[in-house]
Structure 1
Amino acid sequence: MSEDERNAKVYVGEILVFRGFAPVARFIEALRSRSYDYLGDNPTLIHDRRTEDEIARASAAFRRAVRSDSAIAAYFNAALAAVGVRLDDTYGDGVVVRVQTAGLSRNATLGPLAAHRDTWGTNIAAQTNWWAPLFPATPERTLALFPAYFDYAVANSSADWDFEELLRRLKAGRTAEKYPLLPTASDAPPRAEALPISLVPGDLMCFSSAHLHASVPNTTDRTRLSVESRTVNGTDVAAKRGAPDVDGSARYTTYQLFRHLDGVVTKF
């Protein structure tokens, strides 16, 4: 699928899954291999072997290692290129792995994310989300979207959320102070209206960052591991193309989060 065709579908709310692409499978396998280094031989059962604090520390180390790994970044670029992304016109915010433990976690980094649109925080209409599981995702252990709310306003905290304040706290190392990492829905739709995504390793889902989505509370006996990233097409930003903004009130547009995928230009 070409860049233009894919983006046109994404901007009107279509949810795409790419399956059967060898470079995507290699990207996921590289991440799985790294997960063993930090989470043990069977990462989906780490909750049976370690305390929640130990899992949080191991997961944070895993995330940091992935973010700084140039080989992982190259695998990701190859996966995107295989499904039609034009690397020379695309910016990304890096590869992010998430670990959601089995059961209800008290730790914010290991528990489910509340319903939100990523565009509430970035204010970029041409932003696209990419998501994939490292191990099979089931309806009880996955990401869920609310497709009916794609162009339907939802009350949220974007007007009160301050990206610059979040950066100040992070740079100052004030991690103990509670400040939301992103705006969330203040009146979230009922879970019955959610579309849980069931994918297998090697699948890669693509959807607009304007889609309302959330983590499904993990009620299974397996820890969930997934990878996500966000990209922005430069030509579409310049042409002001993108998904509709029906309820966002972000104070800033956070282009500084994105870097050019092919390394020719560092950022917007």
Structure 2
Amino acid sequence: MASFFLTSGPLAEQARNERVYRGDLIVFRGFAAVADLVDALQAICQQHLGADPESVHERLPEVAVNAAAQALRDEIAADDTVTTLLRTALQDVGVHIDDTYGDGLELRVQSASSHGGGRRISPLGVHRDTWGSNIMAQTNWWAPVWPTTPERTIAFFPAYFERPVPNTSAGWDFGELLRRLKADGPDTDYPLLPLATEPPVWEEAMPVSIEPGDLLCFSGAHLHASVPNATEHTRLSFELRTANRPDVLAGRGAPNVDGTPVRTTYQLFRGLNHGERLGPLE
């Protein structure tokens, strides 16, 4: 049975992974290195979105917010200082850096009252990340950059961690997404990820609202989604996906109850300490 676990101390790699693979949601709280990372991200957000990024939707039209969100993501992805701060934060909570591969920190901007609109500012539908990656040892990390509320955060459907949900993983191809992004740019109409075709009702969702400086850790096999932001504040958060190489090689990880992806996205993950790829796209 999945549980919610709050800790102010680090968890060793194996102990954390065992919890994650059985569905536990872990929140690390009170780590100075995480707070330092959030401070750096806030400063970059303000450079792109103004002194009050949560109100950017009031100052710019949707197309401009979408463009600014893309530019913000690109800058953060290439920022060596952010990369260093992220590595330090993960080490402080117990991640064994030498064995860990990640897909890079991603800043997500979800505009206020966004039930559609620009691709980069819209909520993500109900999904499991493993429907796309096919890596059952995948661990997800998520945290707010500005405060969240249950109306603008991430939500889980914990009752479905080991219950199958109809989805589009069989027809979704990461290789095709890469080809479309290269040909069409970031606004390609190819789906960014596989989605549930018969998602649970929202009454079964569990929103997780944590504070800047907190860091949420969970399995990529968890069924989750963005809460559609109907508030008057744009939501800014960051996320990262990692995989422990020994666990991948040994076949350890969360249960795969309903994913049928055509590929495994090893190439998306690079060593946090050396930059080598986890493997080729298969």
Fold shared by both chains (TM-score > 0.5) = yes
Shift of 1:219: 1.0
Q: Are the aligned partners of 2:103 and 2:242 in contact in 1 as well (CA < 8 Å)?
A: yes
1:107 aligns with 118
Unaligned runs of 5+ in 2: 1-10
SS at match of 1:102: coil
1:228 is matched with 239
Distance 1:48 1:168 in 2: 35
The residue that corresponds to 2:271 in the other structure is 260
Q: Which residue of 2 aligns with 1:59?
A: 69
Report the equivalent of 1:190.
201
**2:150 is matched with which residue?**
139
1:163 equivalenced with 2:183 (yes/no)? no
Contact 2:268/2:277 (8 A) holds in 1: no
**1:176-234 deviations in Å (ceiling 9; x for gaps):** 55210110000010111011011110000000000000000101110000000000001
Specify the SS of the correspondent of 1:186.
Answer: coil
- Farther-moved stretch of structure 1 (171-180 vs 139-148): 171-180
Residues 31-90 of structure 1, C-alpha deviations (whole Å, 9 max, x = no match): 011100000000001011111011111111000000011110110000000000000000
Q: Which residue number in structure 1 is paired with residue 215 of structure 2? A: 204
Aligned counterpart for 2:47 among listed residues 37, 45, 69? 37
Q: Which residue of 1 aligns with 2:3?
A: none
CA distance in 2, matches of 1:174, 1:141: 28
Number of the residue aligned with 1:94: 104
1:151 to 133, 143, 162: 162
Identity within the alignment, %? 53
Aligned residues: 268
Aligned to 2:8: none
SS in 2 for 1:172: helix
Aligned with 2:56: secondary structure? Answer: helix
Distance 1:180 1:168 in 2: 12
**What SS does structure 2 have at the residue aligned with 1:109?**
helix
Q: Distance in 2 between matches of 1:83 and 1:215?
A: 25
Q: Distance in 2 between matches of 1:108 and 1:187?
A: 22
CA deviation string 1:89-111 (max 9, x = no partner)? 00000000000011134222211
Give the superposition deviation at 1:173.
2.8
Q: Please give the per-residue CA displacement for 1:1-41, whole angstroms capped at 9, x wherever unaligned.
A: 10000000000000000000000110111101110000000
Cα distance in 2 between the residues matched to 1:11 and 1:167: 28
Deviations 1:129-173 (A, max 9, x none): 000000111000000011000000000000011111111111223
Equivalent residue, structure 2, for 1:5: 15
TM-score with structure 1 length normalisation? 0.98
Segments of structure 1 that go 5 or more residues without pairing to the other structure are: none
TM-score (norm 2): 0.93
What is aligned with 2:127? 116
Residues 252 and 150 of structure 1: is their aligned pair in 2 closer, same or farther, counting only changes over 3 Å? same
Note closer, same or farther for the CA distance 1:26–1:159 as it changes in structure 2 (3 Å cut).
same
Letter paired with 1:71:
T
